[in-house]
Amino acid sequence: MHSTLRNILFSLGMITLVSISALGQDTLDFGEVKYREVGPSRGGRVTTVAGAAKTPNVFYMGSTGGGVWKTTDYGISWKNISDGFFGSPSTGAIAVWQENPDVLYIGTGSDGLRSNVIAGDGMYKSTDAGKTWMHIGLKETGHIGAVEVHPADSNTVFVAAIGNAFAPNAERGVYRTKDGGASWEQVLFISEKTGFADLVFHPANPDVIYAGAWRAERKPWTIISGDEQENGIYKTMDGGDTWTKLSDGLPAFCGKIDLAVSPAEPDLVVALVEAPGADGGLYRSDDAGATWEQVTEEPDLLVRPFYFLNVDLDPTNADVVYVNTLRFHKSTDGGKEWKMISTPHGDNHAMWINPDNPDLFIQGNDGGANVTLNGGKSWSHQFNQPTAELYQVEVDNQYPYRLYAGQQDNYTAIAVPSLPPRSMQAGHVAYIEDVGGCETGPAVPNPGDP
């Protein structure tokens, strides 16, 4: 009896051990497990956008953590085109050659230098509208503020390199290539602390280029932005060979600068200038940069300028000025008076206006990218672009489990169920839950009571 019982218990024990061993082997075998997208589908911060007049339905956006995306239907749907090609998910600038929109140049590394900024890894080029990409150098530039392609030659490209956000480096300045990125020349270098945040071509003469110098050094608790010696607006009249600093009418101390021109008035150039007190604001020059005057010192145009600083001109009417900052502002009298235009999300960073139809444009903000066909009266939505920038991901012990995270500048922490509580027309990635807390940090559920 006792012998039989011992045999039974031994057999059960061996079965249990074998089962546990097999379970352990299965649990540890992750070779066939693949990543899947679980959401959220709500967009994240977009700092650069672009398009082309010849393909009005096509737009591109660059996010700070989700790479480069493309729409071919005015923003109704978006597709990632950088995954598998880019070494950094952070995008600083997108340039589409207007003569042939299949030619694209991307500069990586966002120009909005928050404390949680992601560095880039240089320049990328596509000649098939984003299907494939080549890395074309400038890997150590850190953050790229602008990329401009010569209007008549797609192989001639200029890059405004901000540089390393946290330390001095020599790879700052303005770069030029004449062979499509096979080689680069640093045509304007000021110092290892001062790079360039923006540059634009003169609309009627591409040998004339304006560039905004920016000393930017990110600290964990603050940012050093600008100085009196090196910052300012620089101009070349010979395609980048020589440069002159412009000063007549501009503040002595300048921080970050954004520039805009309009084919409607080729010699007009406007600059949104970060500067102390009443010196900051919108400046304009009607003589191709020779002299400047301040149009307005409106403080609402300069909210956290190291982060929000973007000005654009209507390509058909230079009196129409747009400023992207905390809000989206529009002026119809050259910048004297302003009104706000509602956008799907605040914290605005960039826009691109179709040169043939100024009511058609794309705009980027901390909630993603949105397209308008009627000058901002209505917009495409942002729940179709999973580019969320998440600070930290946690999981609870519910069944089905939920994933928790704080999404950058999107109101609250969120939870994404592994299985939504009901069928969703747009799929499970369309379902998110607000769980309170703060948008700028982690969300950690209580293990016993999530």
Same domain? For 225 and 300 the reply is yes
Same domain? For 351 and 400 the reply is no
CA–CA separation, 122 and 91 (whole Å): 10
Residue 25 lies in a domain: no
Same domain? For 331 and 394 the reply is no
CA–CA separation, 219 and 240 (whole Å): 32
Q: Please state the pTM of the whole predicted model.
A: 0.89
Same domain? For 57 and 125 the reply is yes
Same domain? For 94 and 192 the reply is yes
Same domain? For 398 and 368 the reply is no
For residue 19, the model assigns a pLDDT of 43
Query: Could you report the per-residue pLDDT of 332-376, keeping only the tens digit for each?
Result: 999 999 999 999 998 999 999 999 999 999 999 999 999 999 999
Q: What is the mean pLDDT of the chain?
A: 89
- In this prediction, residues 159-182 reach a mean pLDDT of 98
Tokens representing 296 are: 């307005």
3-state helix, strand, coil in the chain (%, to 5): 10, 35, 55
End-to-end alpha-carbon separation of the chain, Å? 51
Among all chains, which residue has been given the structure tokens 């001062």? 194
Same domain? For 276 and 129 the reply is yes
Domain count, the chain: 2
Q: In 3D, which of 223, 211, 232, 221 has the Cα closest to residue 165?
A: 223
Residues 6 or more apart from 235 whose CB is under 8 A from it? 208, 209, 210, 211, 243, 244, 246, 288, 289
Residue 19 lies in a domain: no
Residue 304 lies in a domain: yes
Query: Could you report the per-residue pLDDT of 127-166, keeping only the tens digit for each?
Result: 999 999 999 999 999 999 999 999 999 999 999 999 999 9
Same domain? For 309 and 361 the reply is yes
Contact 50, 59 (CB under 8 A): yes
Percent of the chain at pLDDT exceeding 70: 87
Same domain? For 145 and 224 the reply is yes
Higher-pLDDT residue of 393, 87:
87
Domain hosting 147: range is 46-372
Residue 40 lies in a domain: no
Query: Could you report the per-residue pLDDT of 415-446, keeping only the tens digit for each?
Result: 677 666 554 444 545 566 666 665 666 777 77
Same domain? For 67 and 171 the reply is yes
Same domain? For 82 and 134 the reply is yes
For residue 81, the model assigns a pLDDT of 98
353 pairs with which residues across the strands?
361
Domain closes at, from 372, 405, 423 = 372
